[in-house]
Amino acid sequence: MIRLKKRPLVGFLADPFNKSARAIELDGDQILITRRGRVATMPLQSIASAPFLRKGILGTALTIRSGDSRDVTLKGAGDHAAHDFSEQVSAAWTRVNLEALESEAARLDRILASVLSLAAPSRYPAACKIAPLLEEARALDISLLTKLNTEAIGPEAVARIAPVREFAANPQLARANAVSAFVTAELDRWKGFFDTIESKPLTPEQRLSVVVDEDATLVLAGAGSGKTSVITAKAAYLVKAGIRQPEEILLLAFAKNAAEEMSERVEARSGVPIVARTFHAIAYDIIGIVEGAKPALADHATDDMAFTNLIKQILKDLVYRLSEVSKAIIQFFAHFLVEPKTEWDFKTKHDFYTHMESQDLRTLQGEKVKSYEELQIANWLYENGVDYEYEPVYEHKIAETGRRDYQPDFRLTESGIYIEHFGVRREKARDGSEQLITAPFVDRDEYLAGMDWKRKVHAEHQTMLIETYSYERQEGRLLTGLAEKLAPHATLKPRPVDTIYDRIVELKQVDDFSKLLGTFLRKFKSGGYSLQDCETKSDRMKLGKRARAFLDVFAPVFEEYQKRLEGRIDFEDMILRAAHYADTGRYVSPFRHILVDEFQDISQSRARLVKALKAQHPDVRVFAVGDDWQSIFRFAGSDIHLMRHFGREFGGRFDGETGVHRTVDLGRTFRSVDQIAFAARTFVLQNPAQIDKKIVPAGTATEPAIRVVTVSKGEDEGKLNEVLAALSAAAALEAKPATVLILGRYRFNEPDMPALRRRFPQLKISFKTIHASKGLEADHVILLNADSGRMGFPSEIVDDPLLSLVSPEEEAFQNAEERRVMYVAMTRARQTLTILASNARPSSFVTELRKDPAYGISTAPGAEPEAHICGECGGRLLGVTGQDGRIWYRCEHLQHCGNLLPACPCCGTALPRRADGATEVRCSCGASYPTCPECEDGWLVERSGRYGKFQGCVRYPTCSGKAKISNGDQPAIPKPRRRNRV
């Protein structure tokens, strides 16, 4: 022990207030500081530097700096004593640091070796492999290395610990450099393998995806980019490189035939016996291992038709029990089968009409009505046994007014009472008074005038009119109010529930609803949802009464479905039970690498199983290959968000970062020529939620590769034959058969295939639905019936908002999945794609493709009619041939709008149109006519009336626009105005 004290007199003069230490002692590995009668300790290892001496006229001051800023100073010491004490402390301080370093030498050397090996790693430095090293390095850094003083331990020791400290301080850079070094070396080391594993050498992107081995790796494999080659090479590489044993690799496919094909391909190409399995196969095996035996599988588990039929049977049985459940089922079919939107939910007539047409608003009586509120009224009348006619011609002849024949909304056949439903709501004016308002696109004054006219007609002819209003539905009393108004005039005779249900079956409304219920049930089970989850989400998404009505039906259907399993399991049970066993550790997984094919089709339950298997061991890797552009099995439970948020769902952790993963874009397609590949990419990326990917096409087209062929009514078979004849002629010139894949959105689109094959032996022709065509390709693809409508393409029946209750996130983009279905159809083609679309009702997809020059779509000369916008509603005016052989232009919204115009009287084919601000309409043939003063689209022609000749609108009697014939046979034309009709 050595002690340094301040000298009494000098010390007092140097430190009169006694703030510095009175004495400092070196006692082994610590320093004792005496100040004002108290003794404190300072470990030598906490000293930041050697003691500092400062000589003055009042003696020498000694300062010891501490790493925690608690410096100690002693003033007024003797100079010789202070120097001796300083040397003793410095020597002890150096000794302590070196002893501490030596005590962790083995640990330091082990960590140092691992850190240095990152310069040229022998294995991919995945986060799960480097994270433990980082944890050890930081622990050593905190416990020792930060406390070592470079001055104390010397330059050699400093150099020794520097790599560890640098790694601990900046591990992201170290890992990134290690990954880069490994990938570069590994690609070179395995070049021969990559050149020969497949019939053609792998592309640079394919090679990269094989050697990258992150905690979670996502390979974006676009259409025709060789994803199977990647999975084959990956499995073989893992074994041949000694990374895994075959039994440590789990290769997962979605379909049994795909699994079998993959197993054969891996073994044939690499000699590695790895058995690919479906999700259900591995799940079934897990259950068998844990339970000792495999439970029986439900008959309908592998048969979608049997599953749908079971749902239909459950519905029927519940109805015939005449319980409260049956009332809920009938209530849904009568009032909530379609999405309850009205004109108030749209800004334009065109949008409103388009939505209404997509909904197939067919009543229980069988007719198609024009609005959701009319549907409610009609179905309520039917339910309550009140016979009615929909839109009958009014029983009295109305004096000529220029209007169409008056057709009230409903006429009760027994009492003769008329019902008119008026699309008006109530609103408070600024002065506090109440006024009626109309939908945004409806002329309020004109509509209210029409209401008054109808009331006067009934008053004049003494017919009973009952009125209903949109504001009554808004206030929740449309049907109760109707019941009160009808009470004095009609006796309600409610039809039995089973009778109504039989009618629903007859109308085939049960089929689509059963499919919706089945899809909902599977997603409900696979996602682990509860009814409370669905109700809460419904409230949050404001899905309203329709969602509640649906859940009132679904709850008993699900309960009955579970009962009918009778101890057997379906595929949803199978996956979830296996995932539970893996989660809880009852099943111990041997797998260290999980390779998943067609990852875009993964569901919540399958994802849960993969996560459970991954969590069993810290070094398990997930290698997923898929294409979110081809995610088209939402109805089967696939959840595209699992792929879009791949890192969040399956990624690892490193340096405080979660979701660590790597994405490799294969990019290159071996299938489609440039025009098809680029057009398909542009088309699918209209949805900004899709993952952007680069595309390298298989070749360059020398002629237009995508063509739209317009088809008039009844011409479908003829146009298809024309297209096939052209392809057959081209194939004959090349003296080799060409493959042709005919695609339809639905099975009923299939043409007479035997006849086509006989007619065109030069072609190898096949038909598939687009969903069934995934993975297939052909020289030429023909897409049938790309028309608008409920059963058109895009299909308007698949994306029911109710499914969002059992989906993690709703896809906000309109027709999101149908757009991906179209992408799949386009990318089956190697050389040409021909799209057959209705001339009168082409689908929105066809319209988009033709409208944008970027797609490079070819249309036969004269086949694409000039686009004309309907001035009444904003829809399209389509050319049709009437029974008289003349060409007419009618609005696409035939049921709702009814705008009809003749072709130009001069040329008989084109449609005269008005330029902005012009007082005449002009035809492309050069003819011109006076504009109609009443409507947007019409023009005036000479007519004869009771008072002689006049100028009348060509749209008469829909439009009563007219003008007198002035001198010079020119009409006096009033100022034009636009009319709005509903």
Residues at the binding site for ATP are 221-228
Closest CA to 763 of 676, 832, 835: 832
Closest CA to 829 of 784, 775, 778, 786: 778
Contacts of 91 (CB under 8 A, 6+ apart): none
CA distance 362 to 509: 9
Using the 8-state DSSP alphabet, how is residue 815 labeled? T
Closest CA to 248 of 578, 585, 588, 593: 593
Question: Residue 965 carries which side chain, given as an amino acid letter?
Answer: I
Give yes or no for a contact between 644 and 656, defined as CB atoms under 8 angstroms apart.
no
Bridge partners of 782, per DSSP, are 742, 834
Give yes or no for a contact between 119 and 166, defined as CB atoms under 8 angstroms apart.
no
- For 51-69, give the DSSP string: -EEEEETTEEEEEE-BTTS
**Residue 380 in tokens:** 């309520």
**Residue 883 in tokens:** 């029974």
CA distance 458 to 396: 9
CA distance 623 to 30: 55
Q: Find the angle CA(75)-CA(80)-CA(84) to the nearest 5 degrees.
A: 95
Cα 788 versus chain centre, distance? 22
**Residue 89 in tokens:** 């402390």
Question: Residue 244 carries which side chain, given as an amino acid letter?
Answer: R
Give yes or no for a contact between 283 and 578, defined as CB atoms under 8 angstroms apart.
yes
Alpha helical stretches, state H, 633-715 = 641-644, 646-650, 674-684
CA distance 500 to 365: 10
Give yes or no for a contact between 713 and 856, defined as CB atoms under 8 angstroms apart.
no
Contacts of 78 (CB under 8 A, 6+ apart): 7, 59, 60
Angstrom CA distances, 950 to 288, 934, 953, 957, 964, stand at 89, 15, 10, 15, 5
Note the maximum CA span of the chain.
138
Angstrom CA distances, 697 to 566, 684, 702, 775, stand at 53, 16, 14, 17
Beta strands in 686-841 (DSSP E): 706-711, 738-744, 763-769, 778-783, 829-838
Q: How many CA atoms lie within 13 A of 899 on its CB side?
A: 27
CA distance 932 to 943: 14
Q: Which residues make up each annotated binding site?
A: 221-228
CA distance 30 to 35: 16
- Residue position matching structure tokens 């379909």: 255
